[in-house]
A and B are shown apart, each in its own frame.
Chain A
Amino acid sequence: KNEVEQSPQNLTAQEGEFITINCSYSVGISALHWLQQHPGGGIVSLFMLSSGKKKHGRLIATINIQEKHSSLHITASHPRDSAVYICAVNSGAQKLVFGQGTRLTINP
């Protein structure tokens, strides 16, 4: 079993829908990341969380340390949100452990 599991693996929705992507992890962590990978392959960091909730524009990330679970929400989704969203955790070692990614497609 992977240390970081994301669900769903693929998600297709209509423009305007509320999107939720989930991430569960099995190790103790010092931080959790949500990353966005564009179709060309480049990766950008969206959020780094160690507790609670963060919001940036239409994106909201939450984490529940006790349940070892995090969610990424997108409100009023738009076709430009189509990308692969990746969850990664830092368990204290000098490396990140990545989930397999969730491919999101928003249709107009």
Chain B
Amino acid sequence: KQEVTQIPAALSVPEGENLVLNCSFTDSAIYNLQWFRQDPGKGLTSLLLIQSSQREQTSGRLNASLDKSSGRSTLYIAASQPGDSATYLCAVSQGGKLIFGQGTELSVKP
């Protein structure tokens, strides 16, 4: 059974820092991996989608990597801003559905 783990569960950094969020999964037979952002009381906003054949995707200050063989993905956020404060979720697509980690709650202090 696929299990997705995100470390750390919570992270607090000062504004301007670069940071890395980690995601690991137990079964490497995934179709793709997607990173989402969730603001309090809101739904999920898709940030980056990495196909299983890809190694990384970039969007603005965000860069996501995927190492399928080791079952790991990282989300790198450059020059963090208070507006980046949210919960970040990674999810793997397998068997036609998404399997989520528990999320990392990020707080960026001004």
Query: Do A and B originate from a single complex?
Result: no
Task: Name B's A-contacting residues (CB within 8 A).
Answer: none
Binding site for B on A (CB under 8 A): none
